[in-house]
């Protein structure tokens, strides 16, 4: 391994993560032949093949799996070292790696904007994925802080709630139920429905509620994107259940409406979590404090989150507004 370079390890890790030379090359802004060459040289240094190709798929060999674990430990230690140096310098600088579920993408970039203006020395990377993808990244210790709605029950995870993330029933403004109030849940039986993809936390929460009340919607489409679902609802393909935050900002009022269905909104919260054993850098700690202390205020000031809480429901309904809900 004396011949192996850090660059080769980074290339190898990217290929292993994507199970693809092409995607690794895209991520690293390298050519595909250059990626193949780096991996080939690394295999030579190891003295064993690191990948095997079965059909069209690329698999790690046993040696490859061992090396991947070692790579991640090395990168984590290097990242910690960088942070220690930043801490020693006493400056708010360094790297912040965030991973957030899809609903949080409607607010976290906005919060990052203010944060980065305050601390211009900080470089941020933000990965947006669904619940299952986030869980995998958490297991692989790939980021500093994770934001999700359904935290793992493990005591090894520190978990800080910071804002409500209610799930609401969305329909086209032309939907026959749009003008009704207090709609019984079983009226959704047989409704054409657009569902988030398997592995989505939203899908899991919706399915749980429907199963508990024996509601059977007619799933017309599985879609892996909140934005695509909004378009499909506006196109009158069906109704769906999504986070109220997906309505942040844009002029959705002419096209989409929140149906007043019993049992909704499904109350949920966003949590900032990280493994308790993880030594948070000063940058990650600073971001976490910022999120918990100022996050709500900035989101309320910069999106229509508060407005949608009041406009769509009478005061006495349990809409989980910032004022009346508790964590």
What is the DSSP code (8-state) at residue 187? G
- Rounded-to-integer distance, Cα 100 and Cα 111, Å: 13
Report the residue from 93, 103, 257, 304 that binds ligand PGA according to the rule CB under 6 A: 103
Cβ 313 vs Cβ 260: under 8 Å:
yes
Integer angstrom CA distances of residue 121 from 86, 94, 96, 280: 10, 7, 11, 17
Task: Note whether 240 binds ligand PGA by CB under 6 A.
Answer: no
Evaluated on CA atoms 136, 137, 140, 145, the torsion sign reads negative
Pick the closer one to ligand PGA by CB: 102 or 257: 102
Least Å from the CB of residue 317 to ligand PGA: 21
Report the residue from 166, 201, 238, 320 that binds ligand PGA according to the rule CB under 6 A: 201
Task: Note whether 101 binds ligand PGA by CB under 6 A.
Answer: yes
Report the residue from 172, 243, 281, 304 that binds ligand PGA according to the rule CB under 6 A: 243
Cβ 13 vs Cβ 42: under 8 Å:
no
Pick the closer one to ligand PGA by CB: 17 or 245: 245
Pick the closer one to ligand PGA by CB: 49 or 199: 199
Report the residue from 8, 165, 172, 286 that binds ligand PGA according to the rule CB under 6 A: 165
Task: Note whether 304 binds ligand PGA by CB under 6 A.
Answer: no
Region from 34-42, 145-153, 210-218, 309-317 binding ligand PGA, contact rule CB under 6 A:
145-153
Task: Note whether 8 binds ligand PGA by CB under 6 A.
Answer: no
Task: Note whether 241 binds ligand PGA by CB under 6 A.
Answer: no
Task: Note whether 286 binds ligand PGA by CB under 6 A.
Answer: no
- Rounded-to-integer distance, Cα 280 and Cα 118, Å: 20
Closest CA to 135 of 87, 99, 184, 91: 99
Task: Note whether 200 binds ligand PGA by CB under 6 A.
Answer: yes
Residues 14-73 that bind ligand PGA (CB under 6 A): none
Indicate the burial class of 251 (C-beta count within 10 angstroms; 0-12, 13-18, 19 or more).
exposed
3-class DSSP assignment, residue 195: strand
- Rounded-to-integer distance, Cα 147 and Cα 161, Å: 9
Cβ 201 vs Cβ 228: under 8 Å:
no
Task: Note whether 135 binds ligand PGA by CB under 6 A.
Answer: no
Task: Note whether 325 binds ligand PGA by CB under 6 A.
Answer: no
Residues that bind ligand PGA (CB under 6 A): 101-103, 130-131, 148-150, 165, 196, 200-202, 243, 268
């Amino acid at each position: 391994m004396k011949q192996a370079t850090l660059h080769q390890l980074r290339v190898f890790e990217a290929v292993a993560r994507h199970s693809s030379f092409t995607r690794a090359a895209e991520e690293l802004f390298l050519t595909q032949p250059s990626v193949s060459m780096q991996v080939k040289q690394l295999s030579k240094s190891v003295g064993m093949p690191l990948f095997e190709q079965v059909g069209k798929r690329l698999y790690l060999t046993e040696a490859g799996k061992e090396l991947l674990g070692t790579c991640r430990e090395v990168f984590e230690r290097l990242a910690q070292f960088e942070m220690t140096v930043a801490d020693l310098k006493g400056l708010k600088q360094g790297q912040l790696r965030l991973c957030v579920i899809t609903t949080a993408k409607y607010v976290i970039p906005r919060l990052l904007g203010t944060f980065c203006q305050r601390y211009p020395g900080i470089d941020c990377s933000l990965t947006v994925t669904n619940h299952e993808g986030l869980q995998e990244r958490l297991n692989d210790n790939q980021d500093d802080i994770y934001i999700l709605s359904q935290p793992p029950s493990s005591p090894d995870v520190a978990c800080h709630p910071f804002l409500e993330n209610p799930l609401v029933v969305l329909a086209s403004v032309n939907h026959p139920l749009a003008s009704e109030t207090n709609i019984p849940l079983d009226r959704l039986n047989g409704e054409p429905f657009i569902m988030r993809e398997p592995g989505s936390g939203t899908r899991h929460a919706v399915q749980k509620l429907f199963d508990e009340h024996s509601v059977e919607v007619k799933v017309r489409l599985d879609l892996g994107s909140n934005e695509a679902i909004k378009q499909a609802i506006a196109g009158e393909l069906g109704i769906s259940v999504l986070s109220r935050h997906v309505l942040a900002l844009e002029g959705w009022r002419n096209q989409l409406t929140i149906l007043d269905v019993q049992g909704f909104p499904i109350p949920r919260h966003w949590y900032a979590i990280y493994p308790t054993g993880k030594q948070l850098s000063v940058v990650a700690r600073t971001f976490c404090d910022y999120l918990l202390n100022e996050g709500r205020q900035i989101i309320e000031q910069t999106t229509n989150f508060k407005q949608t809480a009041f406009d769509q429901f009478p005061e006495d309904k349990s809409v989980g507004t910032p004022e009346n809900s508790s964590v």
